[in-house]
Each structure stands twice: as C-alpha cells, then as structure tokens.
Amino acid sequence: SYTGSESIFSLPFNALDAPGQQSALAHNYVGAVILSLNSAGIYSNTALSGTTSTDARKGLITVKNGLNVLNKFPKSTSPFTDYVPVLRYAEVLLNYAEAAAESNDLATARALLDAVRKRANASYTFPAADITLKADLINTILTERRIELLGEGFRTADLQRRLQPFPAKIGGIGSVAQVLPTANNYIWPIPADEQGANGGI
C-alpha cells in the first residue's frame, strides 16, 4: 500500500500527473517481457519459486508469454499511476539488521530479519545454518533484501557498497559477463563535462 504503515515515503502519481510510458515502473517489469526475471537469479529462491511456498511476495510474480515477470507495479496501461516507493519500513528493518550483524549484535539482527520475513510468511523459520554465524546471517539478510526489495532499484547499489561483483547473466537477448569491482566499468564514469570543468579530477 502506498499510504499504509509500510510506506514511509513514496512519489505519488495520478491521471493528471503520470510518467511517460517508458518511464513507468510497470512498463519496465510487467509491460516488457524482455525484462523477465532471470530463473538463475533471486527468482530461484524458494520463497519466490518454491511450489510449496506460502510467502505472500510470491504473488507479486506472474507469467506473461511463458516468462516470469514482476507484477509489483501492475498499472501497465496509461495513465501509469503506480506510486514509486522511495523508503519502506521493511527496508529500514533490513538496514538495521545488516548494521546490527556487522556490529556483532547478532540477536538483534536475527529478530529484525525474522520480522521482515514473517510479514510475508508468518509460519517461516530460518534454518539455523543460515543465521547462526555472522557471515551466514549477513548473507541471509542480503538475500532477504533481494526478495523484499525486488524491482525497487536497490540491487546495483547493494552490490557496489559491499564491493561484490556484478554476476554474469544469460537471457533471451544475449549474455553479459561478470563485472568485478576492479573493472573500469564497475561504476559510472565521471562525465566529460565535469572533467573539463575540473582539471583535478
């Protein structure tokens, strides 16, 4: 819900003030099957694709032309009035969980992680192997971010801030090789205009 307790800040749109077609979230996900979910990516997590999964977030994925597409922003015809989420309560909990785990407060991190998951699946219990050791707990928190924040623009920044490589991808229109943090194309280049204005860059 755009105005419920989950939403802290969203950018509103309405019929008189809506984005153009290619700028609309729905166009990028449910409207363009070329951007279908990679079966080897986070969709492979059993919370989203498991046949017995009762996770509510599984319902945000639909099949279009035989491909799995994200239906989190369903208004796929004009006017595109889906609000754009900027900050949600679940993100705050996951931010806190990650920070707590990094600070060795594993009990708090587990409780916050559990709170996020149980919003979507009240009966779920994380396997002990996924949350006992610090490194495993952090990895589980990062995985939960990928599930919870799917399609909301966090993945690139999450990889970069933790200096993790961009994974290789294979899809219907071709493939992309893995990009390591040491590669020149790991971050956006400084614009030529900025370099021209500041010779010290």
pLDDT of residue 169: 84
DSSP state of 83: -
pLDDT in tens, 92-150: 999 999 999 999 999 999 999 999 999 999 999 999 999 999 999 999 999 999 999 99
- Which of 14-18, 75-79, 102-106 is the most confident on average? 102-106
The pLDDT value given to residue 172: 67
pLDDT at 35 over 70: no
SS3 string of 12-40? CCECCECCCHHHCHHHHHCCCHHHCCCCC
**Helix-helix angle 134-148:89-102, to 10 degrees:** 170
